[in-house]
Structure 1
Amino acid sequence: MTPASTRRLAAITLLATLGLTFAACTGAGSDSASSDGDAGVAAAPEADRLDAPADGFDSNTFSTVSDAANAEKQAPEERSVISTSAITLRGDDVQGIRDDVADIVAAHGGTIADERSASSKGSLRTSRLVIRVPGSDFEATLDELKKAGKVDSFTTKAEDVTTQVIDTRVRVAAQVRSIKRITELLDQAQSIRTIMAIEAQLTRRQAALDSLQAQQAWLADQTTQATISVEINRTDVPVVEEEKDRGFLTGLSAGWSGLKTFVLGSLTVLGAVLPFAVLIAVLGIPAWFVLRRFVRRPEVSEAP
Protein backbone atom coordinates (compact mmCIF):
# COMPACT_ATOMS: atom_id res chain seq x y z
CA MET A 1 0.00 0.00 0.00
CA THR A 2 1.19 3.45 -0.79
CA PRO A 3 1.62 5.99 1.99
CA ALA A 4 -1.36 7.96 0.73
CA SER A 5 -3.62 4.91 0.92
CA THR A 6 -2.40 4.15 4.39
CA ARG A 7 -3.29 7.67 5.58
CA ARG A 8 -6.80 7.46 4.04
CA LEU A 9 -7.44 4.09 5.70
CA ALA A 10 -6.33 5.45 9.07
CA ALA A 11 -8.58 8.49 8.69
CA ILE A 12 -11.61 6.32 7.78
CA THR A 13 -10.94 4.05 10.75
CA LEU A 14 -10.66 7.04 13.10
CA LEU A 15 -13.93 8.54 11.84
CA ALA A 16 -15.74 5.23 12.23
CA THR A 17 -14.45 4.86 15.78
CA LEU A 18 -15.59 8.38 16.70
CA GLY A 19 -19.03 7.75 15.19
CA LEU A 20 -19.53 4.56 17.18
CA THR A 21 -18.38 6.26 20.36
CA PHE A 22 -20.79 9.18 19.87
CA ALA A 23 -23.72 6.81 19.20
CA ALA A 24 -22.94 4.84 22.34
CA CYS A 25 -22.79 8.00 24.47
CA THR A 26 -26.07 9.25 23.05
CA GLY A 27 -27.84 5.98 23.84
CA ALA A 28 -26.47 5.94 27.36
CA GLY A 29 -27.65 9.53 27.94
CA SER A 30 -31.13 8.67 26.74
CA ASP A 31 -31.31 5.63 28.98
CA SER A 32 -30.06 7.69 31.92
CA ALA A 33 -32.63 10.43 31.32
CA SER A 34 -35.36 7.86 30.96
CA SER A 35 -34.40 6.14 34.17
CA ASP A 36 -34.14 9.47 35.99
CA GLY A 37 -37.61 10.45 34.75
CA ASP A 38 -39.11 7.19 35.94
CA ALA A 39 -37.43 7.60 39.31
CA GLY A 40 -38.80 11.16 39.60
CA VAL A 41 -42.31 10.00 38.80
CA ALA A 42 -42.05 7.24 41.34
CA ALA A 43 -40.65 9.57 44.00
CA ALA A 44 -43.27 12.27 43.46
CA PRO A 45 -46.02 10.61 45.51
CA GLU A 46 -43.56 9.95 48.29
CA ALA A 47 -42.39 13.57 48.24
CA ASP A 48 -45.98 14.74 48.28
CA ARG A 49 -46.68 12.49 51.23
CA LEU A 50 -43.64 13.80 53.12
CA ASP A 51 -44.40 17.40 52.25
CA ALA A 52 -47.97 17.04 53.52
CA PRO A 53 -48.55 18.35 57.07
CA ALA A 54 -47.88 15.74 59.69
CA ASP A 55 -51.23 16.25 61.35
CA GLY A 56 -53.22 16.21 58.17
CA PHE A 57 -53.78 20.00 57.93
CA ASP A 58 -54.59 20.96 54.38
CA SER A 59 -53.93 24.51 53.24
CA ASN A 60 -56.73 24.20 50.70
CA THR A 61 -59.26 23.89 53.53
CA PHE A 62 -59.12 27.57 54.43
CA SER A 63 -59.01 28.68 50.79
CA THR A 64 -62.12 26.59 50.17
CA VAL A 65 -63.88 28.28 53.09
CA SER A 66 -62.78 31.68 51.83
CA ASP A 67 -64.08 30.94 48.33
CA ALA A 68 -67.41 29.81 49.77
CA ALA A 69 -67.62 32.97 51.85
CA ASN A 70 -66.90 35.18 48.85
CA ALA A 71 -69.52 33.36 46.80
CA GLU A 72 -72.10 33.82 49.56
CA LYS A 73 -71.31 37.51 49.87
CA GLN A 74 -71.86 37.97 46.15
CA ALA A 75 -75.30 36.33 46.29
CA PRO A 76 -78.33 38.64 46.31
CA GLU A 77 -79.34 39.59 49.85
CA GLU A 78 -82.47 41.13 51.26
CA ARG A 79 -81.81 44.35 53.12
CA SER A 80 -81.58 44.01 56.91
CA VAL A 81 -82.59 47.16 58.80
CA ILE A 82 -82.81 47.93 62.52
CA SER A 83 -85.79 50.27 62.97
CA THR A 84 -86.29 52.29 66.15
CA SER A 85 -88.61 55.14 67.05
CA ALA A 86 -89.63 57.31 70.01
CA ILE A 87 -92.96 59.11 70.32
CA THR A 88 -94.41 61.27 73.09
CA LEU A 89 -98.20 61.56 73.39
CA ARG A 90 -100.32 63.81 75.56
CA GLY A 91 -103.96 63.63 76.59
CA ASP A 92 -106.46 64.05 79.43
CA ASP A 93 -106.93 60.30 79.91
CA VAL A 94 -103.50 58.65 80.18
CA GLN A 95 -105.05 55.27 81.01
CA GLY A 96 -107.29 55.41 77.95
CA ILE A 97 -104.39 56.29 75.67
CA ARG A 98 -102.31 53.53 77.22
CA ASP A 99 -105.07 51.01 76.51
CA ASP A 100 -105.34 52.22 72.92
CA VAL A 101 -101.60 51.77 72.48
CA ALA A 102 -101.83 48.22 73.85
CA ASP A 103 -104.64 47.43 71.40
CA ILE A 104 -102.61 48.80 68.48
CA VAL A 105 -99.60 46.72 69.46
CA ALA A 106 -101.71 43.55 69.79
CA ALA A 107 -103.38 44.16 66.42
CA HIS A 108 -99.96 44.21 64.71
CA GLY A 109 -98.67 41.12 66.50
CA GLY A 110 -96.34 43.04 68.80
CA THR A 111 -95.59 42.90 72.51
CA ILE A 112 -94.99 45.36 75.35
CA ALA A 113 -91.42 44.67 76.45
CA ASP A 114 -91.30 47.18 79.31
CA GLU A 115 -93.74 49.52 81.06
CA ARG A 116 -93.37 52.12 83.80
CA SER A 117 -96.18 54.29 85.11
CA ALA A 118 -96.66 57.01 87.71
CA SER A 119 -99.99 57.87 89.35
CA SER A 120 -101.29 61.00 90.99
CA LYS A 121 -104.53 61.17 93.03
CA GLY A 122 -105.74 57.79 91.84
CA SER A 123 -105.16 58.28 88.12
CA LEU A 124 -102.25 57.77 85.80
CA ARG A 125 -100.10 60.86 85.40
CA THR A 126 -97.54 59.40 83.00
CA SER A 127 -96.85 56.07 81.36
CA ARG A 128 -93.76 54.90 79.48
CA LEU A 129 -93.82 51.80 77.29
CA VAL A 130 -91.27 49.99 75.16
CA ILE A 131 -93.02 47.98 72.47
CA ARG A 132 -91.72 45.50 69.89
CA VAL A 133 -93.55 45.00 66.60
CA PRO A 134 -92.65 43.10 63.43
CA GLY A 135 -90.48 45.15 61.12
CA SER A 136 -93.01 44.84 58.33
CA ASP A 137 -95.65 46.57 60.51
CA PHE A 138 -93.35 49.31 61.77
CA GLU A 139 -94.71 52.18 59.67
CA ALA A 140 -98.34 51.16 60.07
CA THR A 141 -97.96 50.93 63.84
CA LEU A 142 -96.45 54.42 64.00
CA ASP A 143 -99.26 55.88 61.93
CA GLU A 144 -101.86 54.48 64.33
CA LEU A 145 -99.93 55.55 67.43
CA LYS A 146 -99.89 59.14 66.21
CA LYS A 147 -103.70 59.08 66.24
CA ALA A 148 -103.94 57.79 69.82
CA GLY A 149 -103.19 61.21 71.34
CA LYS A 150 -101.62 64.58 70.76
CA VAL A 151 -98.07 64.15 69.51
CA ASP A 152 -95.55 66.23 71.46
CA SER A 153 -92.42 64.78 69.86
CA PHE A 154 -91.53 62.07 67.39
CA THR A 155 -88.23 60.61 66.18
CA THR A 156 -87.42 57.59 64.04
CA LYS A 157 -84.21 55.91 62.94
CA ALA A 158 -83.38 53.16 60.45
CA GLU A 159 -79.91 51.55 60.50
CA ASP A 160 -78.92 49.32 57.59
CA VAL A 161 -76.95 46.33 58.91
CA THR A 162 -77.10 44.13 55.81
CA THR A 163 -73.32 43.95 55.48
CA GLN A 164 -72.95 43.06 59.14
CA VAL A 165 -75.58 40.33 58.88
CA ILE A 166 -73.92 38.78 55.82
CA ASP A 167 -70.45 39.00 57.35
CA THR A 168 -71.61 37.37 60.58
CA ARG A 169 -73.40 34.57 58.74
CA VAL A 170 -70.37 33.86 56.58
CA ARG A 171 -68.04 33.85 59.56
CA VAL A 172 -70.33 31.45 61.42
CA ALA A 173 -70.37 29.08 58.44
CA ALA A 174 -66.58 29.26 58.16
CA GLN A 175 -66.15 28.52 61.85
CA VAL A 176 -68.51 25.53 61.63
CA ARG A 177 -66.53 24.08 58.72
CA SER A 178 -63.26 24.73 60.49
CA ILE A 179 -64.43 23.05 63.70
CA LYS A 180 -65.66 20.04 61.71
CA ARG A 181 -62.27 19.75 60.00
CA ILE A 182 -60.37 20.06 63.28
CA THR A 183 -62.63 17.45 64.88
CA GLU A 184 -61.76 15.03 62.08
CA LEU A 185 -58.06 15.73 62.59
CA LEU A 186 -58.45 15.13 66.31
CA ASP A 187 -59.87 11.67 65.60
CA GLN A 188 -56.85 10.93 63.41
CA ALA A 189 -54.20 12.30 65.79
CA GLN A 190 -51.99 9.78 67.56
CA SER A 191 -49.36 11.67 69.58
CA ILE A 192 -50.22 13.49 72.80
CA ARG A 193 -48.52 16.66 71.58
CA THR A 194 -50.64 16.68 68.44
CA ILE A 195 -53.83 16.02 70.40
CA MET A 196 -53.11 18.90 72.81
CA ALA A 197 -52.39 21.32 69.95
CA ILE A 198 -55.57 20.35 68.11
CA GLU A 199 -57.68 20.60 71.28
CA ALA A 200 -56.34 24.12 71.95
CA GLN A 201 -57.30 25.17 68.43
CA LEU A 202 -60.71 23.54 68.82
CA THR A 203 -61.37 25.41 72.10
CA ARG A 204 -60.48 28.79 70.61
CA ARG A 205 -62.58 28.25 67.52
CA GLN A 206 -65.56 27.02 69.53
CA ALA A 207 -65.41 30.18 71.69
CA ALA A 208 -65.26 32.33 68.58
CA LEU A 209 -68.23 30.43 67.13
CA ASP A 210 -70.31 30.95 70.29
CA SER A 211 -69.62 34.70 70.18
CA LEU A 212 -70.54 34.92 66.51
CA GLN A 213 -73.74 32.97 67.04
CA ALA A 214 -74.77 35.28 69.89
CA GLN A 215 -74.15 38.30 67.65
CA GLN A 216 -76.11 36.63 64.86
CA ALA A 217 -79.06 35.99 67.18
CA TRP A 218 -79.05 39.63 68.34
CA LEU A 219 -79.00 40.92 64.77
CA ALA A 220 -81.83 38.57 63.82
CA ASP A 221 -83.94 39.83 66.72
CA GLN A 222 -83.26 43.51 66.01
CA THR A 223 -83.90 43.27 62.28
CA THR A 224 -87.11 41.23 62.53
CA GLN A 225 -88.63 43.21 65.42
CA ALA A 226 -88.75 47.04 65.49
CA THR A 227 -88.52 48.90 68.80
CA ILE A 228 -90.79 51.84 69.64
CA SER A 229 -90.58 53.86 72.85
CA VAL A 230 -93.91 55.49 73.78
CA GLU A 231 -94.29 58.11 76.50
CA ILE A 232 -97.78 59.25 77.51
CA ASN A 233 -98.24 62.37 79.64
CA ARG A 234 -101.40 63.85 81.07
CA THR A 235 -102.49 67.28 79.91
CA ASP A 236 -102.43 70.10 82.49
CA VAL A 237 -100.89 68.30 85.41
CA PRO A 238 -100.53 70.89 88.21
CA VAL A 239 -97.24 71.06 90.00
CA VAL A 240 -98.08 70.27 93.61
CA GLU A 241 -95.61 71.69 96.10
CA GLU A 242 -95.04 69.63 99.17
CA GLU A 243 -96.44 71.28 102.26
CA LYS A 244 -93.88 71.94 104.94
CA ASP A 245 -94.54 70.07 108.13
CA ARG A 246 -94.95 72.08 111.32
CA GLY A 247 -95.25 71.27 115.01
CA PHE A 248 -93.25 69.80 117.85
CA LEU A 249 -91.98 66.77 115.96
CA THR A 250 -90.83 68.93 113.07
CA GLY A 251 -88.94 71.23 115.45
CA LEU A 252 -87.43 68.25 117.27
CA SER A 253 -86.28 66.73 114.00
CA ALA A 254 -84.78 70.04 112.87
CA GLY A 255 -83.03 70.50 116.25
CA TRP A 256 -81.65 66.98 116.17
CA SER A 257 -80.35 67.52 112.65
CA GLY A 258 -78.71 70.78 113.75
CA LEU A 259 -77.11 69.07 116.75
CA LYS A 260 -75.70 66.32 114.58
CA THR A 261 -74.32 68.90 112.19
CA PHE A 262 -72.68 70.81 115.06
CA VAL A 263 -71.15 67.68 116.60
CA LEU A 264 -69.82 66.48 113.26
CA GLY A 265 -68.33 69.91 112.55
CA SER A 266 -66.67 70.06 115.99
CA LEU A 267 -65.22 66.59 115.62
CA THR A 268 -63.91 67.50 112.20
CA VAL A 269 -62.12 70.58 113.57
CA LEU A 270 -60.78 68.57 116.52
CA GLY A 271 -59.43 65.90 114.21
CA ALA A 272 -57.66 68.51 112.10
CA VAL A 273 -56.09 70.29 115.14
CA LEU A 274 -55.15 67.20 117.17
CA PRO A 275 -51.97 66.22 115.24
CA PHE A 276 -50.55 69.73 115.63
CA ALA A 277 -51.42 69.78 119.35
CA VAL A 278 -49.61 66.48 119.91
CA LEU A 279 -46.56 67.77 118.04
CA ILE A 280 -46.47 70.96 120.11
CA ALA A 281 -46.82 68.97 123.34
CA VAL A 282 -44.02 66.57 122.44
CA LEU A 283 -41.58 69.31 121.50
CA GLY A 284 -42.74 72.18 123.68
CA ILE A 285 -42.86 70.59 127.16
CA PRO A 286 -39.21 69.35 127.17
CA ALA A 287 -38.07 72.68 125.76
CA TRP A 288 -39.89 74.53 128.54
CA PHE A 289 -38.17 72.45 131.26
CA VAL A 290 -34.76 73.02 129.67
CA LEU A 291 -35.25 76.75 129.46
CA ARG A 292 -36.53 76.89 133.05
CA ARG A 293 -33.42 75.11 134.29
CA PHE A 294 -30.82 77.22 132.58
CA VAL A 295 -32.49 80.58 132.68
CA ARG A 296 -32.46 81.85 136.26
CA ARG A 297 -33.67 85.06 137.72
CA PRO A 298 -30.94 87.65 138.65
CA GLU A 299 -30.11 87.69 142.39
CA VAL A 300 -31.24 90.78 144.26
CA SER A 301 -28.37 92.40 146.30
CA GLU A 302 -29.01 93.19 149.95
CA ALA A 303 -29.11 96.83 151.01
CA PRO A 304 -26.08 98.08 153.17
Structure 2
Amino acid sequence: MTGRRVITGLVLGLLLVSGCTAQSGSENSAAQVARPEAGAGQSAPKQQAPAEPGKAPGVAVGQVDRKLARSATLSVKAGDVSGAVTRARQAATTAGGYAGTERTETRSATVTLVVPAERLDAVLGELSALGEVTRREQQVEDVTEQVVDVDTRLASQRASVTRVRALLERATSISEITSIERELTTREAELESLQARQKALAGSVAMSTITLNVAAGAVAAEDDDRGFLGGLAAGWRAFLDFGSGALTVLGAVAPFLVLVAIPVAVWWVRRRRKVAPAAAAE
Protein backbone atom coordinates (compact mmCIF):
# COMPACT_ATOMS: atom_id res chain seq x y z
CA MET A 1 0.00 0.00 0.00
CA THR A 2 2.76 2.32 0.95
CA GLY A 3 4.68 1.44 -2.24
CA ARG A 4 1.71 2.35 -4.42
CA ARG A 5 1.45 5.73 -2.77
CA VAL A 6 5.10 6.44 -3.38
CA ILE A 7 4.84 5.43 -7.04
CA THR A 8 1.71 7.55 -7.49
CA GLY A 9 3.48 10.58 -5.91
CA LEU A 10 6.47 10.17 -8.22
CA VAL A 11 4.25 10.00 -11.31
CA LEU A 12 2.34 13.12 -10.30
CA GLY A 13 5.63 14.96 -9.63
CA LEU A 14 6.97 14.04 -13.09
CA LEU A 15 3.72 15.21 -14.72
CA LEU A 16 3.89 18.58 -12.92
CA VAL A 17 7.53 19.12 -13.91
CA SER A 18 6.89 18.26 -17.55
CA GLY A 19 3.82 20.60 -17.65
CA CYS A 20 5.77 23.56 -16.29
CA THR A 21 8.58 22.95 -18.77
CA ALA A 22 6.17 22.81 -21.71
CA GLN A 23 4.40 26.00 -20.59
CA SER A 24 7.70 27.87 -20.26
CA GLY A 25 8.78 26.75 -23.71
CA SER A 26 5.52 27.86 -25.28
CA GLU A 27 5.79 31.27 -23.65
CA ASN A 28 9.31 31.71 -24.95
CA SER A 29 8.19 30.74 -28.45
CA ALA A 30 5.28 33.18 -28.32
CA ALA A 31 7.61 35.95 -27.21
CA GLN A 32 9.99 35.20 -30.07
CA VAL A 33 7.13 35.29 -32.57
CA ALA A 34 5.66 38.52 -31.17
CA ARG A 35 9.01 40.31 -31.20
CA PRO A 36 9.46 40.25 -35.00
CA GLU A 37 5.82 41.19 -35.49
CA ALA A 38 6.22 44.20 -33.23
CA GLY A 39 9.36 45.20 -35.10
CA ALA A 40 7.54 44.84 -38.39
CA GLY A 41 4.62 46.99 -37.13
CA GLN A 42 6.86 49.92 -36.30
CA SER A 43 7.44 52.22 -39.24
CA ALA A 44 11.01 52.75 -40.22
CA PRO A 45 12.30 56.32 -39.75
CA LYS A 46 11.83 58.40 -42.84
CA GLN A 47 14.98 59.28 -44.66
CA GLN A 48 15.23 62.87 -45.88
CA ALA A 49 16.36 63.40 -49.39
CA PRO A 50 19.87 64.79 -49.52
CA ALA A 51 19.90 68.53 -50.04
CA GLU A 52 21.38 69.87 -53.22
CA PRO A 53 24.82 71.44 -52.97
CA GLY A 54 24.51 75.11 -52.04
CA LYS A 55 20.83 74.74 -50.97
CA ALA A 56 19.71 74.95 -47.35
CA PRO A 57 17.53 72.05 -46.13
CA GLY A 58 13.82 72.84 -46.25
CA VAL A 59 14.19 75.65 -48.83
CA ALA A 60 12.44 75.27 -52.16
CA VAL A 61 14.72 74.94 -55.13
CA GLY A 62 12.80 77.43 -57.29
CA GLN A 63 13.19 81.06 -56.32
CA VAL A 64 10.08 83.25 -56.06
CA ASP A 65 9.86 85.97 -58.70
CA ARG A 66 9.44 89.04 -56.51
CA LYS A 67 7.26 91.88 -57.80
CA LEU A 68 8.70 95.22 -56.68
CA ALA A 69 7.16 98.66 -57.18
CA ARG A 70 9.95 101.28 -57.14
CA SER A 71 9.73 105.07 -56.88
CA ALA A 72 12.12 107.93 -56.12
CA THR A 73 12.23 111.55 -54.95
CA LEU A 74 15.00 113.92 -56.06
CA SER A 75 15.58 117.56 -55.10
CA VAL A 76 18.19 119.72 -56.84
CA LYS A 77 19.30 123.35 -56.97
CA ALA A 78 19.84 124.77 -60.45
CA GLY A 79 20.64 128.18 -61.84
CA ASP A 80 17.98 127.87 -64.56
CA VAL A 81 14.81 126.26 -63.19
CA SER A 82 12.93 126.22 -66.50
CA GLY A 83 15.89 124.77 -68.38
CA ALA A 84 16.37 122.05 -65.76
CA VAL A 85 12.72 121.02 -66.05
CA THR A 86 12.97 120.88 -69.84
CA ARG A 87 16.05 118.65 -69.69
CA ALA A 88 14.34 116.41 -67.14
CA ARG A 89 11.35 115.91 -69.42
CA GLN A 90 13.68 115.06 -72.30
CA ALA A 91 15.54 112.51 -70.15
CA ALA A 92 12.28 110.75 -69.26
CA THR A 93 11.14 110.67 -72.89
CA THR A 94 14.50 109.33 -74.09
CA ALA A 95 14.34 106.52 -71.49
CA GLY A 96 10.96 105.40 -72.84
CA GLY A 97 8.80 107.14 -70.25
CA TYR A 98 6.84 110.37 -70.06
CA ALA A 99 6.34 113.47 -67.93
CA GLY A 100 3.25 113.76 -65.79
CA THR A 101 2.10 116.49 -63.41
CA GLU A 102 4.12 119.71 -63.46
CA ARG A 103 3.93 122.78 -61.22
CA THR A 104 6.24 125.74 -61.93
CA GLU A 105 6.66 128.87 -59.81
CA THR A 106 9.02 131.84 -59.95
CA ARG A 107 11.98 130.17 -58.26
CA SER A 108 10.96 126.53 -58.04
CA ALA A 109 9.27 123.73 -59.95
CA THR A 110 7.98 120.22 -59.32
CA VAL A 111 7.52 117.64 -62.06
CA THR A 112 6.51 113.97 -61.97
CA LEU A 113 8.33 111.63 -64.35
CA VAL A 114 7.36 108.03 -65.17
CA VAL A 115 10.12 105.81 -66.57
CA PRO A 116 10.62 102.04 -67.07
CA ALA A 117 11.68 100.37 -63.83
CA GLU A 118 14.87 98.99 -65.35
CA ARG A 119 15.90 102.54 -66.37
CA LEU A 120 15.23 104.18 -63.00
CA ASP A 121 18.85 104.30 -61.79
CA ALA A 122 20.14 105.61 -65.12
CA VAL A 123 17.56 108.41 -65.27
CA LEU A 124 18.29 109.38 -61.66
CA GLY A 125 21.94 109.72 -62.63
CA GLU A 126 21.03 112.08 -65.48
CA LEU A 127 18.74 114.16 -63.28
CA SER A 128 21.43 114.46 -60.59
CA ALA A 129 23.60 116.26 -63.16
CA LEU A 130 21.05 119.09 -63.48
CA GLY A 131 22.47 120.87 -60.44
CA GLU A 132 23.37 120.42 -56.79
CA VAL A 133 21.53 117.45 -55.27
CA THR A 134 20.00 118.35 -51.89
CA ARG A 135 17.83 115.28 -51.36
CA ARG A 136 17.58 111.83 -52.91
CA GLU A 137 15.28 109.01 -51.77
CA GLN A 138 14.16 105.67 -53.21
CA GLN A 139 11.13 103.69 -52.08
CA VAL A 140 10.55 99.98 -52.81
CA GLU A 141 7.26 98.17 -52.13
CA ASP A 142 7.01 94.39 -52.42
CA VAL A 143 3.64 93.65 -54.09
CA THR A 144 4.27 89.95 -54.73
CA GLU A 145 1.53 88.78 -52.37
CA GLN A 146 -0.96 91.23 -53.87
CA VAL A 147 -0.16 90.03 -57.39
CA VAL A 148 -0.53 86.36 -56.43
CA ASP A 149 -3.80 87.05 -54.59
CA VAL A 150 -5.30 88.98 -57.49
CA ASP A 151 -4.23 86.35 -60.03
CA THR A 152 -5.83 83.58 -57.94
CA ARG A 153 -9.06 85.48 -57.40
CA LEU A 154 -9.16 86.42 -61.07
CA ALA A 155 -8.92 82.79 -62.20
CA SER A 156 -11.65 81.78 -59.76
CA GLN A 157 -13.90 84.64 -60.85
CA ARG A 158 -13.49 83.77 -64.53
CA ALA A 159 -14.54 80.19 -63.81
CA SER A 160 -17.52 81.48 -61.82
CA VAL A 161 -18.65 83.71 -64.69
CA THR A 162 -18.33 80.81 -67.11
CA ARG A 163 -20.54 78.62 -64.91
CA VAL A 164 -23.22 81.30 -64.60
CA ARG A 165 -23.26 81.82 -68.36
CA ALA A 166 -23.76 78.09 -68.83
CA LEU A 167 -26.70 78.23 -66.42
CA LEU A 168 -28.15 81.15 -68.36
CA GLU A 169 -28.06 79.15 -71.59
CA ARG A 170 -30.03 76.33 -69.93
CA ALA A 171 -32.60 78.60 -68.26
CA THR A 172 -36.19 78.11 -69.49
CA SER A 173 -38.40 80.45 -67.51
CA ILE A 174 -38.43 84.25 -67.32
CA SER A 175 -37.80 84.22 -63.57
CA GLU A 176 -34.76 81.98 -63.96
CA ILE A 177 -33.37 84.15 -66.75
CA THR A 178 -33.87 87.34 -64.73
CA SER A 179 -32.27 85.91 -61.60
CA ILE A 180 -29.30 84.43 -63.45
CA GLU A 181 -28.71 87.62 -65.45
CA ARG A 182 -28.63 89.64 -62.22
CA GLU A 183 -26.09 87.27 -60.73
CA LEU A 184 -24.06 87.30 -63.96
CA THR A 185 -23.94 91.12 -63.95
CA THR A 186 -22.64 91.14 -60.37
CA ARG A 187 -19.93 88.59 -61.08
CA GLU A 188 -18.84 90.29 -64.29
CA ALA A 189 -18.48 93.60 -62.38
CA GLU A 190 -16.28 91.86 -59.83
CA LEU A 191 -14.27 90.33 -62.65
CA GLU A 192 -13.69 93.73 -64.28
CA SER A 193 -12.61 95.18 -60.93
CA LEU A 194 -10.06 92.42 -60.46
CA GLN A 195 -8.78 92.92 -64.01
CA ALA A 196 -8.31 96.63 -63.35
CA ARG A 197 -6.46 95.84 -60.12
CA GLN A 198 -4.21 93.38 -61.94
CA LYS A 199 -3.43 95.97 -64.60
CA ALA A 200 -2.61 98.61 -61.99
CA LEU A 201 -0.24 96.27 -60.14
CA ALA A 202 1.49 95.31 -63.38
CA GLY A 203 1.90 99.00 -64.23
CA SER A 204 3.40 99.84 -60.83
CA VAL A 205 5.95 97.06 -61.27
CA ALA A 206 6.83 97.83 -64.88
CA MET A 207 7.07 101.63 -64.49
CA SER A 208 8.69 103.75 -61.77
CA THR A 209 7.69 107.26 -60.68
CA ILE A 210 10.22 110.04 -60.01
CA THR A 211 9.20 113.23 -58.21
CA LEU A 212 11.69 115.94 -59.17
CA ASN A 213 11.89 119.18 -57.16
CA VAL A 214 13.96 121.97 -58.71
CA ALA A 215 14.81 125.11 -56.71
CA ALA A 216 16.65 128.20 -57.91
CA GLY A 217 20.12 128.48 -56.50
CA ALA A 218 23.63 129.43 -57.50
CA VAL A 219 25.65 126.46 -58.64
CA ALA A 220 29.10 126.34 -57.10
CA ALA A 221 31.82 127.25 -59.57
CA GLU A 222 34.35 124.59 -60.36
CA ASP A 223 37.31 127.01 -60.41
CA ASP A 224 38.39 129.10 -57.40
CA ASP A 225 37.72 132.84 -57.69
CA ARG A 226 41.27 133.91 -57.01
CA GLY A 227 43.61 136.40 -58.62
CA PHE A 228 42.89 139.81 -60.13
CA LEU A 229 39.96 138.68 -62.26
CA GLY A 230 38.47 136.75 -59.35
CA GLY A 231 38.77 139.80 -57.10
CA LEU A 232 37.29 142.06 -59.79
CA ALA A 233 34.33 139.69 -60.21
CA ALA A 234 33.85 139.50 -56.46
CA GLY A 235 33.92 143.29 -56.17
CA TRP A 236 31.43 143.70 -58.98
CA ARG A 237 29.08 141.23 -57.32
CA ALA A 238 29.44 143.08 -54.02
CA PHE A 239 28.67 146.39 -55.76
CA LEU A 240 25.55 144.91 -57.37
CA ASP A 241 24.44 143.47 -54.04
CA PHE A 242 24.96 146.88 -52.36
CA GLY A 243 23.05 148.68 -55.12
CA SER A 244 20.23 146.16 -54.90
CA GLY A 245 20.07 146.58 -51.14
CA ALA A 246 20.11 150.37 -51.38
CA LEU A 247 17.28 150.37 -53.91
CA THR A 248 15.31 148.01 -51.71
CA VAL A 249 15.69 150.35 -48.73
CA LEU A 250 14.80 153.39 -50.84
CA GLY A 251 11.68 151.68 -52.15
CA ALA A 252 10.64 150.78 -48.61
CA VAL A 253 11.19 154.35 -47.29
CA ALA A 254 9.69 156.22 -50.28
CA PRO A 255 6.02 156.06 -49.13
CA PHE A 256 6.95 157.53 -45.75
CA LEU A 257 9.01 160.30 -47.41
CA VAL A 258 5.99 161.31 -49.46
CA LEU A 259 3.82 161.55 -46.35
CA VAL A 260 6.43 163.72 -44.61
CA ALA A 261 7.15 165.86 -47.70
CA ILE A 262 3.54 167.07 -48.15
CA PRO A 263 3.24 168.81 -44.71
CA VAL A 264 6.75 170.24 -45.10
CA ALA A 265 5.88 171.67 -48.51
CA VAL A 266 2.67 173.29 -47.17
CA TRP A 267 4.57 174.83 -44.25
CA TRP A 268 7.27 176.16 -46.57
CA VAL A 269 4.73 177.78 -48.95
CA ARG A 270 2.92 179.51 -46.10
CA ARG A 271 6.16 180.80 -44.66
CA ARG A 272 7.17 182.25 -48.02
CA ARG A 273 3.86 184.06 -48.28
CA LYS A 274 4.33 185.64 -44.86
CA VAL A 275 7.89 186.66 -45.51
CA ALA A 276 7.12 188.33 -48.87
CA PRO A 277 4.75 191.17 -47.54
CA ALA A 278 7.14 191.95 -44.69
CA ALA A 279 9.98 192.38 -47.10
CA ALA A 280 7.85 194.67 -49.35
CA ALA A 281 6.86 196.91 -46.38
CA GLU A 282 10.47 197.49 -45.45
TM-score (norm 2): 0.53
* Equivalent residues in 2 for 1:116-131, closer than 5 Å: 116-119=103-106, 125-131=107-113
Q: Which residues of 2 match residues 93-242 of structure 1 at below 5 A?
A: 93-119=80-106, 125-235=107-217
Provide, for residues 47-78 of structure 1, a one-character-per-residue CA deviation record: whole Å limited to 9, x for no partner: xxxxxxxxxxxxxxxxxxxxxxxxxxxx9763
Residue in 2 that maps onto 1:82: 69
SS of 2:66's equivalent? coil
State the AA in 2 paired with 1:83: R
Deviation, 1:142, is 1.4
**Letter aligned with residue 148 of structure 1:** L
Identify unmatched segments of 5+ residues in structure 1: 1-74, 120-124, 248-304
How many angstroms does 1:246 deviate by?
5.8
Return the offset for 1:243. Answer: 6.4
How many residue pairs are counted as aligned between the two chains? 166
2:156 and 2:72 mapped to 1: Cα distance?
35
Q: Are the structure 2 counterparts of residues 178 and 245 from structure 1 closer, same or farther at C-alpha, using a change threshold of 3 Å?
A: farther
Report SS of the residue matched to 1:201.
Answer: helix
Residues 205-238 of structure 1: CA distance to partner in whole angstroms, max 9, x if unpaired? Answer: 11211211121121122111100000100016x9
Following the alignment from structure 1 to structure 2, what is the Cα–Cα distance between the partners of residues 214 and 246? Answer: 63
**d(CA) in 2 for partners of 1:95 and 1:193?**
66
Q: Distance in 2 between matches of 1:76 and 1:190?
A: 51
SS in 2 for 1:148: coil
**Distance in 2 of aligned mates of 1:163 and 1:170:** 11
Identity %: 31
Aligned AA for 2:154?
V
What per-residue deviation string (whole Å, max 9, x for no partner) do you get for residues 176-216 of structure 1?
12111110111101233332332232122112112111211
Specify the SS of the correspondent of 2:182: helix
Please provide the CA RMSD for this pair: 2.8
Structure 2: give runs of 5+ residues left out of the alignment: 1-61, 219-243, 257-282
Counterpart-to-counterpart distance in 1, 2:110 and 2:179 = 54
Residue 245 of structure 1, CA deviation: 10
Alignment of 1:272-287 (within 5 A): none
- CA deviations on 1:146-191 (whole Å, 9 max, x unpaired) are 2221111111100010111121122122211211111011110123
Q: 1:186 and 1:221, CA in 2 relative to 1: closer, same or farther beyond 3 A?
A: same
**Equivalents in 1 of 2:162, 2:253: separation in Å?**
73
Corresponding letter in the other structure for 1:118: E
